[in-house]
Amino acid sequence: MEKIAEFFGFAERKTNFKIELVAGLTTFMAMAYVLATQPGAIVGFGSPSVTDAAGAVITQEAVVVTVALVSGVITILMGLYSNMPFALSTGMGSNFLLGSMIQAGALTFSQAMGIILVEGVIFLVLSAFGIRDLIVRMIPKNIKIAISAAIGFFIAYLGFNNSGLGTYNGGISMGDFTNPAVMLAVLGLIIIAVLTAYKVKGAILIGILLTTILGIPFGITNVPSSLISVPDFSGVGSLVAKFDFSTILTPTGLILVFVTFFGDFFSTLGTVLGLGGKAGMLDEDGNLPGIEKPFLIDAIGTCVGAIFGCTTITTYVESSAGVEAGGRTGLTAITTGCLFLIAMFLAPIFLMIPNAATGPALIFVGFLMIQGFKDIDFSDFTEAFGPFVMIMFCIFMGSIAAGIAGGILAHIIIKVATGRAKEVNIGMYILAIPLILYFIYS
């Protein structure tokens, strides 16, 4: 115990073994909903498997196992290497973007993993050489904020669609509220909202589980014969080391690499700094000493995740739940990681969760992601026009890629048209080329 305390620096960070374990459990409870949403994002909610355009079969059970495995290993690595209480898993955003394209036949699973691996390698190189400040300066603040908000709106849309709260065939309309599944989804949303209002740790996960249980007597939730099972690694084999780089240099491929990279990069930057501030780890200039360590692990996580068939691995803002519970060292992360590894044996529990339970969770995740909308500067129209186009394109075109591409191009166009071209970083003009090609050829 003394060696553990000395290794993690309990005395310096004013914590102890019990606090760190409780914080790790709290973090896991807050982010374990990823094990219920990731399979649906990739395979499709309500479907046990999907066959992509190349004929590859991806099952929900295999996705649960790989996500739990990679999240566990990388989070443990984060705790050991950085000694910070940050947990990682598949980020919300790129999973729905790539998953929807796989399900629609616009992208094969191998092509999607090729994109994720390239994005991860770029992130790894930039992290290793400390070039992140250059990237931060290139993209305008409003655009960076709008990317997260636009993805949030898209995820909320998926939640409405999958749960039946809204219908989008032939137009936008209200769902059938006489349908028991839709009524259950409404109840699920209320449960998550009330738990969140009372600041209950793991509100999203608890809401999912309670809604799933309430769905049993109505026949909405199908209970499996066993709640615990040995991981089916045979299905995992179809996900491991599946790469196709043929689309990387196409207009669609370039925009997807851009979207996944910047989503991961800025999500990690904001999350790490925000969590560092809550944990009292920032210096007098607002910087986090040793920030290169979580960045490096995050980048490695994305590369390793791609090898095991996972979309972008990123540092989770839900780690704040553990920080608020007192977590201050890497032992918090290690505890969370171990719980993810244990979750591999609980795949049947996560697979029994119906759309009526995951839909409200997606709506709430979308709500959490759009909160940054309030930070967009509307005082300067030339700064607000790009974010406006980005969010509107994303919502009404039903495409994250189209939204982000349109928003960036709109920002450049309005600046040039108003004689303020010099305010646009040269890198943005270079970026505009593949974005224009995306709209022409996609």
- Which residue, 354, 370, 391, sits at the end of a domain? 354
Which one, of 311, 335, 308, 310, lies nearest residue 321 by Cα? 335
By the 10 Å C-beta count (0-12 exposed, 13-18 middle, 19+ buried), 67 is classed as buried
Q: What is the distance between the alpha carbons of residues 29 and 234, in angstroms, rounded to a whole number? A: 28
% of the chain surpassing 70 pLDDT: 95
- Does 402 lie in the same domain as 349? no
User: 100 lies in a domain?
Assistant: yes
- Does 328 lie in the same domain as 258? yes
Q: Is the pLDDT of residue 208 over 90?
A: no
220-264 pLDDT, tens digit per residue, is 998 887 888 877 777 788 899 999 999 998 888 888 888 888 777
- Does 100 lie in the same domain as 46? yes
Average pLDDT, the chain: 86
More confident of the two residues 113 and 153? 113
Give backbone dihedrals phi and psi of 49, rounded to 5 degrees, phi first: -160, 165
Give the pLDDT mean for 5-28: 88
User: 368 lies in a domain?
Assistant: no
pLDDT at residue 133, rounded to an integer: 61
Helix (H, G, I), strand (E, B) or coil at 284: coil
- Does 99 lie in the same domain as 181? yes
* Interstrand relation of 49-51 and 166-167 (parallel, antiparallel or unpaired): unpaired
pLDDT at residue 54, rounded to an integer: 84
- Which residue, 354, 372, 399, sits at the end of a domain? 354
> pLDDT-based confidence at 266, cuts 50/70/90?
low
72-86 pLDDT, tens digit per residue, is 999 999 999 999 999
pLDDT at residue 195, rounded to an integer: 93
Helix (H, G, I), strand (E, B) or coil at 222: coil
Q: Is the pLDDT of residue 412 over 90?
A: yes
User: 69 lies in a domain?
Assistant: yes
- Does 101 lie in the same domain as 59? yes
User: 98 lies in a domain?
Assistant: yes
Which one, of 414, 406, 412, lies nearest residue 381 by Cα? 414
> pLDDT-based confidence at 56, cuts 50/70/90?
confident
Tokens representing 97 are 């973007």
- Does 247 lie in the same domain as 146? yes
User: 362 lies in a domain?
Assistant: no
Give the pLDDT mean for 289-298: 86
Q: What is the distance between the alpha carbons of residues 18 and 4, in angstroms, rounded to a whole number? A: 12
Give the pLDDT mean for 353-380: 83
Q: Is the pLDDT of residue 69 over 90?
A: yes
User: 232 lies in a domain?
Assistant: yes
| Host domain of residue 150 | 2-354
By the 10 Å C-beta count (0-12 exposed, 13-18 middle, 19+ buried), 142 is classed as buried
439: Cβ contacts below 8 Å, ≥ 6 apart = 402, 405, 406
- Does 295 lie in the same domain as 428? no
- Does 390 lie in the same domain as 346? no
Q: What is the distance between the alpha carbons of residues 158 and 364, in angstroms, rounded to a whole number? A: 11
pLDDT at residue 187, rounded to an integer: 96
Q: Among 95-104, 170-179, 264-273, name the one with the lowest average pLDDT.
A: 264-273
- Does 161 lie in the same domain as 76? yes
The widest CA-to-CA distance across the chain, in whole angstroms, is: 67
- Does 186 lie in the same domain as 142? yes
Number of domains present in the structure of the chain: 2
- Does 131 lie in the same domain as 81? yes
User: 360 lies in a domain?
Assistant: no
- Which residue, 354, 369, 404, sits at the end of a domain? 354
Which one, of 249, 267, 222, 208, lies nearest residue 89 by Cα? 267
> pLDDT-based confidence at 342, cuts 50/70/90?
very high
- Does 329 lie in the same domain as 418? no
More confident of the two residues 336 and 14? 336
> pLDDT-based confidence at 410, cuts 50/70/90?
very high
Are 292 and 130 in contact by the 8 Å Cβ rule? The answer is: yes
Amino acid (one-letter) located at 22 = V
User: 366 lies in a domain?
Assistant: no
Tokens representing 249 are 């240099």
